């Protein structure tokens, strides 16, 4: 029995210490997808993270590179996710026969320290620009659908307040309904 307790204590200590010792350079999962109207622009985000303050060089390759704007270098904070704004702009004279799905690859490069051996770390992220012809939408259901889709497309820092607001409204409705039920008796 004592050996099992010792094993669990040692395992717990190792699990608590090891994550703080791991060197981390990562990104948020999934591709970056930007819906852009013909002749317009739109912005999305690319989430990068590191456990130390570091400078990272950014670049775009592929067909999307001629339509994408992003900083050439960013400084990542020592914890959390740093959101890089990625802007796509499609000119009004873009020929739709070239395709409405423009693809490319974004790279984030963390250069190693100079010395006898220099190790560079590189992250790769697929990017898709979906070109849309602008069409006025008057349908209420389409507008509601875009609003709901927009809520789910928000960055995590924006989703928490929106979720809290929806939860507060829901609780207020339940409270209001219960108090009205007691008044009607």
Residues 6+ apart with CB under 8 A from 127: 31, 32, 33, 34, 60, 62, 64, 68, 86, 103, 104, 105, 106
Residues 33 and 82 in one domain: yes
Residue 118, domain member (yes or no): yes
Residue-wise pLDDT for 5-24, tens only, equals 655 555 545 445 444 434 56
* pLDDT higher than 60, residue 54: yes
Query: Domain of 153?
Result: 136-185
Q: What's 30's domain CATH number? A: 2.60.40.10
pLDDT score of 14: 46
> What percent of the chain lies above the pLDDT cut of 90?
38
If one compares 69 and 4, the residue with the highest pLDDT of the two is 69
Helix crossing, 156-184 with 140-152: angle to 10°?
A: 120
Q: What confidence score (pLDDT) does residue 74 get? A: 95
**Residue 141 and residue 131 share a domain:** no
Structural domains of the chain, count: 2
Q: Are residues 166 and 127 in the same domain?
A: no
pLDDT band of 32, cuts 50, 70, 90: very high
Q: Please give the pLDDT value at position 22.
A: 44
Q: Which helix (H) or strand (E) holds 83?
A: strand 81-89
Alpha-helical regions (H) of 43-155 = 140-152
Q: Give tens-digit pLDDT for 114-157.
A: 777 778 888 999 999 999 986 655 566 666 665 555 545 445 55
- pLDDT for the residue 143: 63
95 and 171 share a domain? no
The mean predicted confidence, pLDDT, of the chain is: 79
- Tell me the torsion sign for CA atoms 153, 157, 160, 162: negative
- Do both 36 and 122 map to the same domain? yes
Task: Report if residue 13 sits inside a domain.
Answer: no
| 122 and 100 co-located in one domain | yes
Using left for φ > 0, alpha for ψ between -120 and 50, and beta otherwise, residue 110 falls in: beta
pTM for this structure?
0.60
Statement to judge: residues 40 and 104 lie in one domain = yes
* Residues 67/102, Cβ–Cβ less than 8 Å: yes
Instruction: Give the tens place of pLDDT for each residue, 83-92.
Output: 999 999 999 9
């Amino acid at each position: 029995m004592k050996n099992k307790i010792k094993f669990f204590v040692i395992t717990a200590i190792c699990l608590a210490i090891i994550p703080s010792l791991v060197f981390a350079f990562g990104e948020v999962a999934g591709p970056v997808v930007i819906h852009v109207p013909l002749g317009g622009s739109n912005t999305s985000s690319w989430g990068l993270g590191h456990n130390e303050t570091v400078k990272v060089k950014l670049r775009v390759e592929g067909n999307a590179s001629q339509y994408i704007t992003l900083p050439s270098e960013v400084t990542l904070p020592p914890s959390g996710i740093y959101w890089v704004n990625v802007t796509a702009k499609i000119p009004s004279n873009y020929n739709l026969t070239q395709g409405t799905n423009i693809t490319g690859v974004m790279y984030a490069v963390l250069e190693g320290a100079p010395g006898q051996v220099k190790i560079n770390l590189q992250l790769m992220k697929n990017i898709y620009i979906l070109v849309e012809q602008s069409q006025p939408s008057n349908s209420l259901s389409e507008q509601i659908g875009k609003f709901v889709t927009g809520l789910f497309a928000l960055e995590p820092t924006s989703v928490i307040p929106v979720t809290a607001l929806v939860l507060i409204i829901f609780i207020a409705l339940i409270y209001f309904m219960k108090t009205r039920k007691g008044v009607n008796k």
